[in-house]
Structure 1
Amino acid sequence: MDETWWLAQLKALEPKGQRLETLNSMYTAINKSAPSKQIVLRVLAAPELYECAEIGGAAEADAAAPKDGVVSVALELLDRCMYLMVPETDVEQLPQLLNRGLTHTNPAVRSRVLSLLNRELERQVRSGQVHQLPNNELLFLVLDELKQAETEASAVAIKILSIVLVQRLNDAGVQAKLVELLQQNEIVRCRAYELAVNLAKTSASSLGSVEFMLDAALSELDNDDVLLQASVMEILVPLAEQNHGLSYMERRQVFDVISNRVQRLEENPLDALLVPSIMKFFGKIAAVQPQKIIVGYSHMLICLFEQLQSEDETILPTALDTLPNLAGTPQGKMLLHLNFQPAMERTLMKYGAYTKKLSAPIKVRLLNSLDVIYAMETPPTKEIDNVLKGWYECFAGGLQANHIMDLVNTPFPDLQLAALALLKTLCKYRWGVAALRNTGGAVEFLLSRQKDLHKDVKFLKWEILELLSVSPEFSPTETVRFTAYVNEGPYHIQADLNIATEPQGGA
């Protein structure tokens, strides 16, 4: 379409009568062949287009058209125009180009603009060259999104700011904007804390620039709002991934402050509501700093092991998720073995009992927890292999897989999948293969071609047999059967053999 046609369409958007038809024509045309840069800029500058995208005013735009239809097509057209223009626009012109979208009353419009901006920034990051912003105008527009009541675009805004804010972090105007965020409601403050942690992770220098925000986050731990405290603890966890972040947390005695809440529960019984969040916090820190937590805060682990013995299904999910964080790394496994071996053995014995008595969702959680504990990214040392074998024997009551196969044979696909996933992980160890081999009916189940099984269950069975087919634990005859099954594929259907027999007796 030529320039005259596009100008006519923009003119047709002015009356509030046939906007849907006009928008559809424009959207079809722009997808057939992209117009010139000048035309796209004219479209993006048209106030009527943004009016069509307004949730409140769209119904009046075309009485014969559904309100959502006008808004939807206007969104798609805006999205397409910005997609064409953002990569082609000089960084100095981006604020002018995106201003209307970033200040729009419809959160869906702001979300689309931010998503496109984020995509472009991620492309620049991959290329190794993030363009320098000439001023704060675009930053302020994105920072203002964090103050919006809607949550639709806040996560994307934080991603954008985590990339570009480093350039101007010490600017007085930017610092004033960040202080302003800390004066808002708790939802906005938590967004600001998440942004601060993202920035602080990048370097010690950036941490120093947002230290006042991190200090504000820590002050929330004295708040009476348990949910707010739990949210802040969750936000702070990634700070420990870098040594300079861990050093900051140690200087501020974060671990001591939080762990003392558990030690002094008698003084403030309401803190008991925080215990699951505190366990999660220490568990996630231990995933990246196992020595710090397992050795330095033994009373936290004692509390965790007490929770795992409790049989209380309100606190077990978080506890079951926390233990694999502690035992997820080779270092974590060895530290638990050296410092808490009796507690680990009691816990795994309890896990064995739990497979028979708890609700199905908790059993799935338990199996997923064990799967992480036994998983290894690299072949284990002999020492770790022995530790894991000992832990498994505590869980199973010996070297067999009866508990797991009992769960595999339930009619619940989620439970079957979790049990088979754990079995697959165990079969990467010789002792795990031996446990399966020692379990009556296990090999027969794996080799069966039951038609009524979920397709993911069939695929996991096939993956396990693929491991067994190269294991030295089985005889040549068994290995041939495993290999045949693997070669047939996970979804092979055996042909039914109908053998006709002639009736006996003479004619």
Structure 2
Amino acid sequence: MDDSWWATNLKALKSKAKRLEALTRMNTAVSKHSALPRQIIRRLMATSELYECATVDDTKDPSVDVAVELLGHCVHQLPVDTADDQLPGLLGRSLSHPNPALRFVVLNSLLKELRRQLNAGQLHTLPDNELVLLILDELKQPETEGSSIAIAILSIVLGQRVNEAVVQAKLVQLLQQNEVVRCRAYELGVSLAKSSASVLSAVEFILDAALSELDNDDVLLQASVMEVLVPLAEQNHGLSYMERRRVFDIISTRVQRIEENPLDALLIPSIMKFFGKIAAVQPQKIITGYPHMLACLFQQLQSEDENILPTAMDTLANLASTPQGKVLLHLHFSTAMLETFKKYGSYTKKLSAALKERLLNSLDVIYSVEIKPTKEIDGILKSWFESFTGGAQVNIIMDLINTPFPDLQLAALALLKTMCRLYSWAIVALKNTGGAIEFLLSRQKDLHREVKFLKWEILDMLAVSAEFTPTETVRFTAYVNEGPFHIQADLNIATEPQGNA
């Protein structure tokens, strides 16, 4: 295909009658050739009519999708070299196009290239601010898909230019938009601030604007802002900023003064989630610094209110997800933790199947540890488990495994697998539970495929445990060697009919 072929097809775009056929031909050509000459790609991306074809109208014109696909292939073949000073001009029309599908295609390609450069340790500096400003404008669009990608791109490249006046002016402009756009700006600000103390200083005005929303009457907006702020505590300089601004004190005071503003009760689940997620990275700060927050959480966990229990369970899992968190909870809230686990045991009999699954998943988080647990943590977790089960057996878990709900079965088996992998006392408890070993060794045909696989994984652990007799170990090993999906043959013993003597 020479230049005249492309010129003929591009000229045909001016005619609505010929447009779809011409677009289809060019799209097929571009998709079949993974490395067309750069001048052809640039020529296509500089053609105004192609962008007109990609514009959505009320007629549901099929040429729109083909035009977007064609431009997507072009962007994919365009060497997205962020040092290329022609790049803003080539991508500008797409990034400012009214069709969100086209903007999404371009943003996605740009993000992939930037991540490739990051992984290779060769991130290029952008040629100027034009491309940055175009991507910042995406945050004002009503669609969420493009804005999420834009935030990811800006989190990579904006640190290089965040102090420049034109960029700061654009960021200030975003803070004057509606609450959806403002929250996107807050998310971007937090993402940038995490990288270093100097960048945090440059975007502090964004973070301050986010904090000011906590005085807003809109409960949903406040909950969104708290969610956005959580990652800021992952770095010490971010935590220091939050402490200087008394973020934790301001938010926790809302719980203490709930009687003064009953509407704040709607915020409690979000506040608990906020403190729980902070505690996952800064357990000492939350568990020892805000005891009234923990008291409120334990009250929620005892409430039997299915509307607040999911968030409360997740929050406790976050609090106890780290070794330090487990030890601090045991030291400062030993009785409350034992009472909570005892309540969890009763919940396995009365909650809905979905909430039982949520409970098991939260326990799985608590009992999972990255390294072999210390003797202290092993003892703490054993005492919590015995409070949950009412003894040194796993009857509760086995009851949940024997339900007709596959998702609940899987959650129960996943918890059992985690415990057998890490704790010898859990294997002993399993051994002492009537019918448990027999269930694991059974070859029930009607079990879900993933249930069979989890059973096999657990038996693989039992096969190397010192808690069982040699005879039991042989049975486990035989099962493991047969594989998780082995089907036992039916034994049909044929007998020869006897005739009359």
**TM-score, length basis structure 2:** 0.98
Where in structure 2 are the equivalents of 1:251-330 lying within 5 Å?
251-330=244-323
Kindly indicate whether the alpha-carbon contact (under 8 Å) linking 2:83 and 2:126 is maintained by their aligned counterparts in 1.
Answer: no
1:201 is the counterpart of 2:201? no
In structure 2, C-alpha distance between the alignment counterparts of 1:332 and 1:125, rounded to whole Å: 34
Q: Report the AA paired with residue 431 of structure 2.
A: R
Kindly indicate whether the alpha-carbon contact (under 8 Å) linking 2:341 and 2:387 is maintained by their aligned counterparts in 1.
Answer: yes
SS in 2 for 1:17: helix
In structure 1, C-alpha distance between the alignment counterparts of 2:203 and 2:330, rounded to whole Å: 39
In structure 2, C-alpha distance between the alignment counterparts of 1:91 and 1:259, rounded to whole Å: 50
1:332 is the counterpart of 2:325? yes
1:186 is the counterpart of 2:192? no
Quote the sequence identity (%).
71
1:15 is the counterpart of 2:15? yes
RMSD between aligned alpha carbons? 1.2
1:26 is the counterpart of 2:26? yes
Instruction: Report which stretch shifted further, 120-129 or 254-263.
Output: 120-129
Q: Report the counterpart of residue 117 of structure 1 in structure 2.
A: 110
- String of CA shifts for 1:457-486, please: whole Å, max 9, x gaps: 111111111111111111111111111111
Q: CA shift at 1:50, angstroms?
A: 1.4
In structure 2, C-alpha distance between the alignment counterparts of 1:266 and 1:89, rounded to whole Å: 55
Instruction: Report which stretch shifted further, 482-491 or 210-219.
Output: 482-491
Kindly indicate whether the alpha-carbon contact (under 8 Å) linking 2:83 and 2:127 is maintained by their aligned counterparts in 1.
Answer: no
How has the CA–CA distance of structure 1 residues 88 and 228 changed in structure 2, closer, same or farther, with 3 Å as cutoff?
closer
Q: CA shift at 1:90, angstroms?
A: 4.5
Q: CA shift at 1:135, angstroms?
A: 2.0
In structure 2, C-alpha distance between the alignment counterparts of 1:48 and 1:458, rounded to whole Å: 58
Q: Report the counterpart of residue 491 of structure 1 in structure 2.
A: 485
Q: CA shift at 1:433, angstroms?
A: 0.5
In structure 1, C-alpha distance between the alignment counterparts of 2:148 and 2:164, rounded to whole Å: 23
In structure 1, C-alpha distance between the alignment counterparts of 2:63 and 2:220, rounded to whole Å: 40
1:477 is the counterpart of 2:475? no
Please, which of 163, 166, 170 is the counterpart of residue 173 of structure 1? 166
Q: CA shift at 1:375, angstroms?
A: 0.7
Where in structure 2 are the equivalents of 1:84-483 lying within 5 Å?
84-87=77-80, 90-428=83-421, 429-483=423-477
In structure 1, C-alpha distance between the alignment counterparts of 2:247 and 2:82, rounded to whole Å: 45
Q: CA shift at 1:225, angstroms?
A: 0.3
In structure 2, C-alpha distance between the alignment counterparts of 1:188 and 1:32, rounded to whole Å: 40
- String of CA shifts for 1:257-294, please: whole Å, max 9, x gaps: 00000000011111000000000000000000000000
In structure 2, C-alpha distance between the alignment counterparts of 1:131 and 1:250, rounded to whole Å: 35
Q: Report the counterpart of residue 46 of structure 2 in structure 1.
A: 45
- String of CA shifts for 1:348-401, please: whole Å, max 9, x gaps: 000000000011111000000111111111101111111111110000001101
How has the CA–CA distance of structure 1 residues 453 and 92 changed in structure 2, closer, same or farther, with 3 Å as cutoff?
same
Q: CA shift at 1:2, angstroms?
A: 2.3
1:502 is the counterpart of 2:463? no
Q: Report the AA paired with residue 448 of structure 2.
A: H
Q: CA shift at 1:14, angstroms?
A: 1.8
Q: CA shift at 1:134, angstroms?
A: 3.0
Q: CA shift at 1:504, angstroms?
A: 4.1
Instruction: Report which stretch shifted further, 15-24 or 38-47.
Output: 15-24
- Any runs of at least 4 consecutive aligned residues in structure 1 with deviations exceeding 3 A, and if so which? none
Kindly indicate whether the alpha-carbon contact (under 8 Å) linking 1:230 and 1:274 is maintained by their aligned counterparts in 2.
Answer: yes
SS in 1 for 2:495: coil
- String of CA shifts for 1:395-427, please: whole Å, max 9, x gaps: 000110110010100010010000000010111
How has the CA–CA distance of structure 1 residues 89 and 297 changed in structure 2, closer, same or farther, with 3 Å as cutoff?
closer
- String of CA shifts for 1:114-151, please: whole Å, max 9, x gaps: 11111111111112222112321111100000011121
Q: Report the counterpart of residue 63 of structure 1 in structure 2.
A: none
Kindly indicate whether the alpha-carbon contact (under 8 Å) linking 2:19 and 2:63 is maintained by their aligned counterparts in 1.
Answer: yes
Kindly indicate whether the alpha-carbon contact (under 8 Å) linking 2:214 and 2:225 is maintained by their aligned counterparts in 1.
Answer: yes
In structure 1, C-alpha distance between the alignment counterparts of 2:82 and 2:22, rounded to whole Å: 27
How has the CA–CA distance of structure 1 residues 89 and 364 changed in structure 2, closer, same or farther, with 3 Å as cutoff?
closer
Kindly indicate whether the alpha-carbon contact (under 8 Å) linking 1:54 and 1:106 is maintained by their aligned counterparts in 2.
Answer: yes
Q: CA shift at 1:505, angstroms?
A: 5.1
1:36 is the counterpart of 2:46? no
- String of CA shifts for 1:312-365, please: whole Å, max 9, x gaps: 000000001000100001011001111111000000000000000011111000
SS in 2 for 1:87: coil
How has the CA–CA distance of structure 1 residues 90 and 7 changed in structure 2, closer, same or farther, with 3 Å as cutoff?
farther
SS in 2 for 1:202: coil
**TM-score, length basis structure 1:** 0.96
- String of CA shifts for 1:219-248, please: whole Å, max 9, x gaps: 000000000000000000000000000000
Q: Report the AA paired with residue 310 of structure 1.
A: S
Q: Report the AA paired with residue 243 of structure 1.
A: N
SS in 1 for 2:160: helix
Instruction: Report which stretch shifted further, 217-226 or 43-52.
Output: 43-52
Q: CA shift at 1:88, angstroms?
A: 5.3
In structure 2, C-alpha distance between the alignment counterparts of 1:436 and 1:369, rounded to whole Å: 20
Instruction: Report which stretch shifted further, 431-440 or 252-261.
Output: 431-440
In structure 2, C-alpha distance between the alignment counterparts of 1:274 and 1:222, rounded to whole Å: 12
Kindly indicate whether the alpha-carbon contact (under 8 Å) linking 1:286 and 1:325 is maintained by their aligned counterparts in 2.
Answer: yes
Q: CA shift at 1:74, angstroms?
A: 1.6
Unmatched segments (≥5 aa) in structure 1: 60-65
In structure 2, C-alpha distance between the alignment counterparts of 1:6 and 1:292, rounded to whole Å: 65
SS in 1 for 2:490: coil
In structure 2, C-alpha distance between the alignment counterparts of 1:124 and 1:89, rounded to whole Å: 10
- String of CA shifts for 1:47-85, please: whole Å, max 9, x gaps: 22212221116x4xxxxxx63x32222222111110111
Kindly indicate whether the alpha-carbon contact (under 8 Å) linking 1:108 and 1:152 is maintained by their aligned counterparts in 2.
Answer: no
Q: CA shift at 1:3, angstroms?
A: 2.2
Q: CA shift at 1:86, angstroms?
A: 3.6
Q: Report the AA paired with residue 246 of structure 1.
A: L
Kindly indicate whether the alpha-carbon contact (under 8 Å) linking 1:86 and 1:117 is maintained by their aligned counterparts in 2.
Answer: no
Q: Report the AA paired with residue 451 of structure 1.
A: K
In structure 2, C-alpha distance between the alignment counterparts of 1:493 and 1:332, rounded to whole Å: 45
Q: Report the AA paired with residue 471 of structure 1.
A: S
In structure 2, C-alpha distance between the alignment counterparts of 1:236 and 1:439, rounded to whole Å: 45
